[in-house]
Structure 1
Amino acid sequence: MTALAVLFGAAIAAYGLDQLSKALVVAHLTEGEAVPVLGTVLQWQFVRNPGAAFSIASGMTWIFTILAAAVITFIVWFARRIRSVAWALVFGLLLGGVLGNLTDRLFREPSFGLGHVIDFIWTPWLLPAIYNLADIAIVSSMVLFMILTIRGIGLDGSRERRSADEAPVAQPAAEA
């Protein structure tokens, strides 16, 4: 499978699952009500988030809309340079997650470009936040990004190798 197919496949899967889950939440949950799924380990709680993570900058929704559009534009422009399936997965998850939350900002209440993101996953023991599948895709892409970067794996899939031969060699001082 080509890297481009993985990138767009991951993006479509992340976006589709995110939007489907949000449609189900809006249709079946009451806003603000906590519904235990696995006791206190996992709960559904439908909230509308006007800001970023932890509802930070809730009055700045339009800025997040512009930033999301810029990220999407960059990924689509950059996609043809990616040759590694792992890196394609990073950018595909990021693209799908950002598209999911951007769709909410563009088409949900209160208005175009200022819409509130639907959040519903609550793990009180893990994070003091309520999030959604788009957020999970974005965070997963960042974790994979860090792993690939630490391992020295390039966008083409090659691995940066450092050997003892490449270490800087001290030059002898000039004799007087």
Structure 2
Amino acid sequence: MTLVEFIYAMLLSIDQFIKYLVRNFMDYGQSIPIINGFFQLTSHRNTGAAWGMFSGQKIFLISIALIVIVIGLIYSRKVTDKLTRIAFGFFIGGAMGNVVDRLIFEEVTDMYEVTFINYPIFNNADVFLVCGVILFLISIYKDSRL
């Protein structure tokens, strides 16, 4: 198992386990305050992307994610930089997490709600995707400085 495969398998497992807990132990719409006035867990479902964009466009969203996953898998085998491989693992794991939800449930389970600003409720897969992009940008910046 490569580093990329290990990372995305681990992140996909974490994502799906937490979504399982939310779907099975929280009522839809239920919120649990974590930090009053700042952050709470809220059981939410989303048929679209952030802010409800592309709502109901399951095939489109799955297609885009599968393209991202395939490209990530192909390029992750070609790079030698460890940080870039880690970035691909995060990106692929995040994309897979939301694809699994769309394929099985026809919607994505979200649970993290930042309450002090108007921001969409999100999930672990979303966090992993963003972390992957940030790590990838850091690796590009690092390589450009050599």
Match of 1:132 in 2: 123
1:126 to partner: Cα distance: 5.4
Cα distance in 2, alignment partners of residues 6 and 80 from structure 1: 10
SS of the equivalent of 2:97 reads: helix
Cα distance in 2, alignment partners of residues 69 and 120 from structure 1: 23
Q: How does 1:67-78 map to 2 (within 5 A)?
A: 67-78=64-75
Cα distance in 2, alignment partners of residues 46 and 87 from structure 1: 33
Structure 2 runs not aligned, ≥5 long: none
Q: Write out per-residue CA displacement over residues 107-141 of structure 1, whole angstroms, 9 at most, x where no aligned residue.
A: 11xxxxxx100000111235611000000000011
Cα distance in 1, alignment partners of residues 145 and 104 from structure 2: 43
Q: Does residue 150 in structure 1 map to residue 141 in structure 2?
A: yes
RMSD (Å), alpha carbons = 1.6
Cα distance in 2, alignment partners of residues 143 and 80 from structure 1: 19
Q: How does 1:53-68 map to 2 (within 5 A)?
A: 53-68=50-65
Cα distance in 1, alignment partners of residues 83 and 145 from structure 2: 15
Q: Write out per-residue CA displacement over residues 12-69 of structure 1, whole angstroms, 9 at most, x where no aligned residue.
A: 1211110000000001111112111222222111111000111111032210111111
Structure with greater proportional helix content: 2
> Number of residue pairs matched?
146
Question: RCO higher in 1 or 2 (8 Å CA, sep ≥ 6)?
Answer: 2
1:10 to partner: Cα distance: 1.3
Larger radius of gyration: 1
Q: How does 1:83-98 map to 2 (within 5 A)?
A: 83-98=80-95
SS of the equivalent of 1:37 reads: strand
The code of the aligned residue for 1:5 comes to: T
Cα distance in 1, alignment partners of residues 3 and 117 from structure 2: 30
1:85 to partner: Cα distance: 0.9
SS of the equivalent of 1:131 reads: coil
* TM-score, normalising length: structure 1: 0.77
Distance change >3 Å, CA 12–CA 147, structure 1 → 2: same
The code of the aligned residue for 1:32 comes to: G
